[in-house]
Amino acid sequence: MTAMPFTSFMPFLHVATALVLAPLLPSIITRVKAIFAGRRGAPLLQPYYDIAKLLRKSAVYGDTTTWLFRMGPTVGLAAVLTALLLVPFGGSPAVLAFRGDIIVFAYVLALARAATIVAALDTGSSFEGMGASRESAFSAIMEPALILGLVAVMRKAGGGSLSTFLHPHRVETAAATTTLVIGALFVVYLAENARIPVDDPATHLELTMVHEVMVLDHSGPDLAFIHYAAALKLWVLGALIVGLAVPQPAASPWAAYALALAGIAGVAAVTGIVESTMARLRMAAVPSLLFAGSALAGVALILGLR
């Protein structure tokens, strides 16, 4: 990290902003969906109310559950917080940046998922087991899209860390690769955050739920942690897309910062539009979509290797 045109507290400002503003993202998505459906929608601050309410309650644990179940939400939140530390934002590097941090990034997200899956299996409920099975299958197919996509950008832009290669002034020369990777990462974004067309966050039929069914047995502060971690995950993966897609003027760090914030809200709004205009895919068709995402990333990598 040599001299870069921003003040050194910007990375920490990003983490603080994300911690405060992240619950707004699911709120933006539901608001966009409400507008499409002709409804007024819940207040934008609703996720904050929900989290505050859940934190005041006490958690209920089933007799069959063990420490694995209690650990799940905490590990999940901690893992997503770690991922947040690795993501650069608005032209400034991440709090933690080192060679090969994309591997840590991918595995930290996988750890969050694994914690949720283990907690779901620990309940012994057959529905949660089904959700866990689907989630692990989908994530296995989705992971190549994330890794291949990031490697493609890394290869084109040089630099071994998320913070060095998500600088658009370097990526500009590789428009094709960048566009393909943005497409692949958006598929990852939809899948990781359990949005339509991969999963429907609003469904309440256990047979068709993927992510939601796994958190059915959590309550109180545990559920608050899960909601908060989900919002932060939207932020983290959104920041990745924004880092590639939104031009960041080097002149003023504040302008870059504002643009990136607008970009992250924009990604959420696009998700809302996708959710409003698309039906959820059949369960058997989801792997094809995820596979197409991986194929996009593969094409980006191959074209980037030339």
- Interface stretch with another protein, choices 32-40, 198-206, 221-229, 297-305 (CB under 8 A): 297-305
- Interface stretch with another protein, choices 112-120, 198-206, 216-224, 284-292 (CB under 8 A): 284-292
Cβ-based neighbour number of residue 246 at 10 Å: 19
305 near another protein, judged by CB under 8 A: yes
The CA distance from 122 to 230, in Å, is 20
Query: What is the x/- site pattern for another protein, positions 160-179, by CB under 8 A?
Result: ---------------xx---
283 near another protein, judged by CB under 8 A: no
298 near another protein, judged by CB under 8 A: yes
For residue 139, the minimal CB distance to another protein (Å) is: 16
Give the pair of three-digit tokens for residue 207. 């047979």
CA 57 to chain centre: 27
Are 85 and 96 contacting, i.e. CB atoms less than 8 angstroms apart?
A: yes
DSSP state, 283? G
Residue 232: beta bridge partners?
none
Residue 92: beta bridge partners?
89
291 near another protein, judged by CB under 8 A: yes
Which among 290, 231, 289 is positioned nearest to 264, based on CA atoms? 231
Total residues interacting with another protein, rule: CB under 8 A? 13
- Interface stretch with another protein, choices 19-27, 56-64, 240-248, 283-291 (CB under 8 A): 283-291
φ, ψ of residue 61 to 5 degrees: the values are: -115, 135
Instruction: Give contact residues for another protein (rule: CB under 8 A).
Output: 175-176, 287-288, 291-292, 295, 298-299, 302-303, 305-306
